[in-house]
Amino acid sequence: MSTAAKLRANAKVNLSLDVTGIRDDGYHIVDMVNCSVTLFDELEIVMMPGESFSISSNVRYLPTDERNLIWKAAKRLSDKTGIPMPEAKVTVRKRIPSQAGLGGGSADAAAALIGFNLLLGLGLTKDELSVIGASVGADVPFCISGGTARVGGIGEVITPLRDELSYPILIAMPRYGHSTKEAYAMLDRVPEIHHPDIGSVITGLCEGDADKAFSRAGNVFEDVFSDEVTLELKRKMTADGALYSAMTGTGAAVFGIFPRAREALEARDLLRAEGYGAWVTYRADRGVETVN
């Protein structure tokens, strides 16, 4: 049995995001089209018999205690299976920005669940891991499944989609982040929400029709969290050739769908010159990839 694993935890982009209601327990019901992208964090898990569970990272802002979603994932895995908390060291190399709507923490948790399932020989299926992941965070089940999918419920209902489009995705990050909790609280106070047409997005992706896929896409959180920087990033991307641009998740990152890599790379360089974090990514078939 292996004693170490390296994994890539891919970010996600919400190609379209709708909130359709609130459950009695206060959780919001979503209807989204998500895709995994090739911007990723790297996790290295090393089993350390006799040692306590620990997390280290290349960035100072990341909590490395019980607040970290990796830690929560390991604890929920332990509780679910009855095994002790893993005796392991997890090293995280962060590339996905925080408070961006890109699911970085959830992707890391998904990678931890998949990695420990492999290293401990637990034999859990993706569906079983997703049930555990849902108790850690709403985006974790999708990050375990990956690819392109319709996501419903509170994030736990995953329906894989056939995506016949091939497109570079430019992601830009302002110098600040957004709080997901605050975003949902603000959304609840909005009297009228402009709902995207999720069905049209799905049909367009399946038919390889970009106009149909993105002409009626959208993100309801732009009604509450869209500011001058968000609008300016969308305007710049559109002016530089993007077919569609929107905020992902609750933000603050904005993405643009470009027809060709050349336009996306040129737009990236212009945004970097203005001080934004900017990355050209592509659709990924999986949410988590094992490196070895």
pLDDT tens string 214-240 = 999 999 999 887 789 999 999 999 999
pLDDT in tens, 141-168: 999 999 999 999 999 999 999 999 999 9
Residue type (1 letter), 108: D
pLDDT in tens, 101-144: 999 999 999 999 999 999 999 999 999 999 999 999 999 999 99
pLDDT in tens, 258-272: 999 999 999 999 999
Between strands 28-47 and 148-152, the pairing is antiparallel
> Catalytic one among 12, 72, 94, 236?
12
Domain segments of the chain: what residues? 4-161, 168-284
**Dist. CA 16–CA 152, nearest whole Å:** 12
**Dist. CA 53–CA 71, nearest whole Å:** 8
Cβ(6)–Cβ(288) under 8 Å? no
Percent of the chain with pLDDT over 70: 99
> Catalytic one among 18, 139, 163, 240?
139
Give residue 255's pLDDT.
98
Give the pair of three-digit tokens for residue 207. 């038919």
Give residue 1's pLDDT.
63
* Catalytic site includes residue 212: no
Give the pair of three-digit tokens for residue 27. 């959780």
Out of 59-63, 185-189, 203-207, 222-226, give the one with best mean pLDDT. Answer: 203-207
For the chain, give the number of residues: 292
Q: Has domain 168-284 been given CATH number 3.30.70.890? A: yes
Please return the burial class of 239, using the count of CB atoms within 10 Å of its CB with bins 0-12, 13-18 and 19+: exposed
* Catalytic site includes residue 234: no
Average pLDDT, the chain: 96
**Dist. CA 289–CA 292, nearest whole Å:** 9
**Dist. CA 253–CA 13, nearest whole Å:** 9
CA atoms within 13 A on the CB side of 142: 36
| Mean per-residue pLDDT, 49-68 | 96
Q: Has domain 4-161 been given CATH number 3.40.50.720? A: no
- Give me the torsion for CA of 71, 171, 217, 212, rounded to 10°: -120
